[in-house]
């Protein structure tokens, strides 16, 4: 519900504050008085298109503020947008227009176009000449049809929504599993390739590479080792050019034997020399055997070289580097074996997830099919009621049908709903957004809203109608008045009209007028036009209805004035009787 509307420096309005009430609020006034400007300002506050030209001449800033009463749906929306209340249970939508900027705020927080549009749909439906905000949207038409269908459709939609979520979850799990399997197969291929390479290298001994490098060095130096071992052997035992070590020790031993015979205290030295002689003889024997058995096989050396190259390549790929990385390469091989075993152990069957997804999809399609049938039934009832209602609004030749076609499954089902409309005999049915004048579309929406007069579902809290009664007869105006009042019993309605019959049934009647005032601007007196609005008391309301009925002014003769006032009083009396009659229905 719209509680108040403040407008400053917008078009002809310098400052205007309007307090609105529940029920049917009617705006009347002379043509050009500014009634539509007020509706344009409300539209602007809720994200409608604006330009700097809408600023009042001579000003630098226009400001509009619309204050709405909150309800659970609006409170939930604020919560999802993380917007707090400024005033308790109130939503303040404001628009600031300057030459350089144009900002929309909700409770003081700047919001983008998508946010304000979403909120607008929950707050108001503005139907003006040439302008319908939601009427042409397929999504809104589906909501209206479902609302008309009642509790059974709403319950079925809830079932469809839950099944859709279940199907989406199952589909997501299946997709993730399929993607996981693709990744897993790629991983298995890589691990198997690495493991095969490591197994082919026959890695067992972590010290193999170090040992092979020592063998390679020994084999590459075999000739030098043979020559050096011969030199050692000659030095120890068989020197040809000079006495060898064994000969010298033998001479020393013989001398010590003679000396011990004389002095037994030298026996310890004799034992040392004898031991040294024995060790030299054993060393000479071993060095002789070593030199005789040195392997100088070039084929063996080449084999070792090949093996070293293979192990070093493995180390570069799977180790840190160098000979010390061979143990790490062997450890990595064992790790690959473990990983492959774990992957294969947890490979649950994909068919189970495919079966779950298929079952959920079948349940969803069946529920959607049932929802479609319910919508088709509701569509027939809506077509009959709406056509009947439109005929009483001077649209006797109107054609209307609800077209239901297939679309991609969504939480609201698999139906695309389109309202098709032809206001004139012989003209083909076309989508609602593409046909009809502003007045025809306004009356269409009025008739549509009347179909929901006893249901809060599918309707916004505030319904705005701009001159939907232009050019109609008194009989049609009476029907329009009746429908507006019925809507006002369930929703707040704001309507601009020139029909006294419609204005008479209002719960609250406002008069919009244009005045000329003298303003002092920088020492110069200028006349400016301003727009004012007034909530009429019973006396002023009679006068306004008289003006609407016959253009009566105070300059006319007293008799004409009296007749017009009497007519206005009769309109008010008839309107009161009609209200009482409608309230009893």
Q: What is the CATH number of the domain that holds 83?
A: 3.40.50.300
**Both 108 and 44 in a single domain?**
yes
Q: Where are the alpha helices (DSSP H) in 294-399?
A: 298-318, 326-345, 350-391
**Both 122 and 211 in a single domain?**
no
**Both 449 and 568 in a single domain?**
no
Please tell me the distance from the alpha carbon of residue 320 to that of residue 201, in angstroms, as a whole number. 17
**Both 564 and 525 in a single domain?**
no
Crossing angle of helices 350-391 and 138-149, rounded to 10° = 80
Please tell me the distance from the alpha carbon of residue 339 to that of residue 190, in angstroms, as a whole number. 12
**Both 329 and 231 in a single domain?**
yes
Map tokens 């972590």 to a residue. 206
Domain-embedded: residue 181: no
Q: What is the pTM of this model?
A: 0.62
**Both 443 and 503 in a single domain?**
yes
104 within 8 A of 110, measured Cβ to Cβ: yes
Please tell me the distance from the alpha carbon of residue 208 to that of residue 214, in angstroms, as a whole number. 10
Please tell me the distance from the alpha carbon of residue 371 to that of residue 164, in angstroms, as a whole number. 13
**Both 522 and 544 in a single domain?**
no
Domain span including residue 228? 201-345
DSSP state of 56: P
Domain-embedded: residue 395: no
**Both 528 and 568 in a single domain?**
no
262 within 8 A of 227, measured Cβ to Cβ: no
* CA-based max dimension of the chain: 180
Please tell me the distance from the alpha carbon of residue 413 to that of residue 419, in angstroms, as a whole number. 17
Six-digit token pair at 153?
């459709």
**Both 513 and 557 in a single domain?**
no
**Both 222 and 339 in a single domain?**
yes
**Both 3 and 93 in a single domain?**
yes
The contacts of residue 554 (CB under 8 Å, 6+ apart) are: 561
> Is residue 204 helix, strand or coil?
coil
- Count of CA atoms in the C-beta half-sphere (13 A) of 48: 22
| Bridge partners of residue 430, in order along the sequence | 421
The number of domains in the chain is 3
Per-residue pLDDT of the chain (585 residues; tens, 9 = 90+): 999 999 999 988 989 999 999 999 999 988 888 888 899 899 999 988 888 888 988 888 999 999 999 988 899 999 999 999 988 889 999 999 998 888 999 999 999 999 999 999 889 887 765 445 566 677 888 888 998 888 899 999 999 999 999 999 988 888 877 777 777 777 778 878 888 887 878 887 778 778 777 777 767 666 676 667 777 767 767 655 555 777 777 887 888 787 778 778 888 888 888 888 888 888 888 877 877 777 666 777 777 777 878 788 888 777 654 445 788 888 888 888 787 777 766 555 778 888 888 999 999 999 999 999 999 999 999 999 888 888 878 788 888 999 999 999 999 999 999 988 888 777 888 887 676 566 677 778 788 877 876 554 545 678 888 877 776 777 778 888 888 888 888 889 999 988 899 999 999 999 999 888 776 666 666 677 888 899 999 889 988 988 888 754 445 445 556 777 888 888 888 888 778 877 766
> Of 30, 26, 32, 35, nearest to 510 (Cα)?
26
DSSP state of 507: S
**Both 211 and 305 in a single domain?**
yes
Domain-embedded: residue 379: no
Domain-embedded: residue 2: yes
């Amino acid at each position: 519900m719209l509680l108040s509307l403040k407008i400053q420096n917008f078009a002809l309005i310098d400052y205007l504050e309007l307090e609105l009430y529940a029920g049917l609020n009617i705006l009347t006034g002379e043509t050009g008085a500014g009634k539509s400007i007020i509706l344009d300002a409300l539209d602007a506050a809720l994200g409608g298109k604006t330009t700097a030209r809408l600023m009042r001449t001579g000003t630098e800033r226009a400001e509009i503020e619309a204050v709405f009463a909150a309800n659970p749906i609006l409170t939930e929306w604020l919560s999802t947008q993380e917007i707090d209340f400024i005033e308790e249970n109130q939503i303040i939508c404001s628009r600031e227009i300057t030459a350089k900027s144009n900002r929309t705020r909700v409770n003081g927080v700047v919001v983008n176009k998508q946010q304000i549009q979403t909120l607008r749909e929950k707050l108001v439906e503005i139907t003006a000449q040439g302008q319908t905000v939601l009427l042409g949207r397929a999504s809104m038409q589906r909501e209206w049809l479902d609302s008309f269908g009642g509790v059974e459709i709403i319950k079925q939609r809830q079932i469809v929504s839950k099944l859709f979520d279940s199907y989406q979850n199952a589909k997501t799990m299946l997709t993730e599993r399929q993607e996981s399997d693709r990744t897993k197969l790629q991983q298995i291929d890589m691990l198997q390739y690495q493991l095969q390479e490591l197994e082919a290298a026959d890695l067992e001994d972590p010290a193999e590479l170090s040992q092979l490098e020592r063998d390679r060095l020994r084999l590459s130096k075999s000739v030098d080792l043979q020559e050096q071992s011969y030199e050692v052997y000659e030095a120890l035992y068989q020197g040809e050019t000079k006495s060898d070590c064994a000969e010298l020790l033998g001479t020393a031993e013989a001398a010590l034997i003679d000396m011990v015979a004389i002095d037994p205290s030298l026996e310890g030295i004799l034992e040392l020399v004898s031991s040294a002689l024995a060790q030299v003889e054993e060393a000479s024997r071993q060095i002789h055997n070593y030199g005789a058995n040195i392997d100088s096989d070039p084929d063996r050396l080449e084999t070792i070289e090949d093996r070293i190259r293979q192990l070093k390549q493995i180390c570069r790929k799977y180790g840190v580097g160098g000979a010390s990385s061979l143990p790490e390469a062997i450890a990595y091989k064992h790790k690959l074996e473990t990983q492959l075993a774990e992957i294969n152990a947890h490979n649950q069957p994909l068919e189970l997830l495919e079966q779950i997804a298929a079952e959920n999809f079948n349940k969803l399609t069946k529920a959607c099919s049932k929802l479609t049938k319910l919508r088709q039934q509701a569509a027939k009832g809506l077509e009959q009621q709406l056509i009947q209602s439109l005929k009483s609004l001077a649209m006797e030749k109107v054609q209307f049908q609800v077209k239901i076609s297939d679309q991609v499954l969504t939480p609201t089902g698999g139906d695309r709903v389109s309202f098709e409309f032809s206001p004139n005999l012989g003209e083909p049915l076309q989508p609602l957004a593409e046909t009809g004048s502003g007045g025809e579309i306004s009356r269409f929406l009025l008739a549509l809203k009347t179909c929901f007069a006893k249901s809060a579902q599918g309707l916004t809290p505030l319904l705005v109608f701009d001159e939907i009664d232009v050019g109609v007869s008194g009989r049609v105006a009476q029907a329009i008045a009746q429908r507006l009042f019925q809507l006002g019993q369930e929703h707040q309605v704001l309507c601009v009209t020139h029909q006294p019959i419609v204005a008479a049934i209002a719960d609250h009647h406002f008069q919009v007028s244009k005045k000329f005032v003298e303003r002092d601007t920088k020492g110069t007196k200028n006349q400016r036009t301003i727009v004012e609005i007034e909530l009429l008391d019973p006396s002023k309301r009679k006068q306004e209805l008289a003006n609407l009925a016959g253009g009566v002014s105070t300059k006319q003769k007293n008799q004409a004035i009296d007749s017009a006032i009497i007519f206005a009083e009769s309109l008010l009396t008839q309107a009161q009787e009609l209200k009482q009659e409608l309230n009893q229905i």
